[in-house]
Amino acid sequence: MRLDRAFFARRTTVVARALVGQTLVRVEDNGARTAGRIVETEAYLGPEDRAAHTHGYRHTPRNHAIWMHPGAAYVFFTYGMHHCFNVSTLAEGKPQAVLVRALEPVEGLDRMRQRRSKARRDTDLCSGPAKLCQALGINLTHDRLDLTRSPHLWIARTRRRAHPASRIAAGPRVGVDYAGDWAARPLRYCLHGSPHVSPPRPG
DNA sequence: CCTCTGATCTTCT
DNA sequence: GAAGATCAGAGGG
C-alpha cells in the first residue's frame, strides 16, 4: 500500500527515519518495474539549515518542489551528470525535504544492471543518491510529481518487523562540509549493517 | 579500506 | 563566472 499525504506531513526528521525500510517503486511507461527498500535517508530542515537548498528561504524554479505539498518529488540535476531524489515534507509552504540516499534492490535487478553497467556488484547498484536514480531511471521528468498519486513513482508501506527502529543509526550528512555547524548534526539515517548503504559507512 | 582527481553542465550570482 | 546534497577509477596501506 502506497504511503499517503499524512505520512509525509510530519516533522522532517520523523519522516526521514520512518522512510528507512519502506519501498521505493518505479514503473516505466512499458510497465517495467524496479523497486528497492530504502536503507539510507537524510533530513534537510529548510531556511535555517545551511546545507539545504532552501537555506535563507531561497525559492527558485529548480527547488520549487520542496515548497509544494508533502509527498511531492524533488528531483535535481547536479555535477553536470547526476540526479538526486527527494520527498517534500511537513506542509505546503514549509520548505523541508528528505533525500533518499540508498536502496537495497528488491525488484527488476536485471533492468538496474542494464542501466548501471558500471556497477561491479549488486551492492553498487543503488548505494548512493545518484546511483539509485540511474538504476530506477529517475530524472527531471519526475520533479514535482505527487508520490501519493503518480502511477510512475511512489513509496510503498513495507512491514519493518525485520528492520526495527532500534536498528537505524543516525550520523552526519554526506557532502555538506560547507554547512558550518549544521554539517555535524546527525540528520543522516542508515539501516544499521546494511551493505547497500552509501559510503562513508557509519560505524 | 582510504584519499585524490577528472568528468561535465545546469543553475544561480 | 563559480559552485555543486556525486561517481568511478587509480593508487596506496
pLDDT by residue (tens digit) across A109-121?
Answer: 999 999 999 999 9
Q: How many Cβ atoms sit within 10 Å of the Cβ of residue A14?
A: 14
**CA/C1' separation A62–B13 (Å):** 15
**CA/C1' separation A2–B7 (Å):** 38
pLDDT of residue A162: 59
pTM as predicted: 0.97
CB within 8 Å of A6: residues ≥ 6 apart: none
pLDDT of residue A165: 64
Q: Which nucleotide is nearest to A54 (CA to C1')?
A: C5
Tens digit of pLDDT for each residue in A25-70? 999 999 999 999 999 999 999 999 999 999 999 999 999 999 999 9
A46 Cβ within 7 A of any nucleic strand C atom: no
pLDDT of residue A164: 63
**CA/C1' separation A40–B9 (Å):** 28
Query: Mean pLDDT score of chain A, rounded to an integer?
Result: 96
Q: Which nucleotides of C are covered by protein (CB under 7 A)?
A: 3-9
User: Which grid cell sits at A9?
Assistant: 506531513
Does residue A160 have a pLDDT over 80? no
Query: Mean of the pLDDT values across residues A13-19?
Result: 98
Q: Which nucleotide is nearest to A130 (CA to C1')?
A: C6
> What are the backbone angles phi and psi of residue A143, rounded to the nearest 5°?
-60, 140
Q: Which nucleotide is nearest to A81 (CA to C1')?
A: B8
Output b/e per residue, A173-194; b: 16+ Cβ within 10 A: bbebeebeebbebebbbbbeeb
Find the helix or strand (DSSP H, E) in which A188 lies: strand A188-191
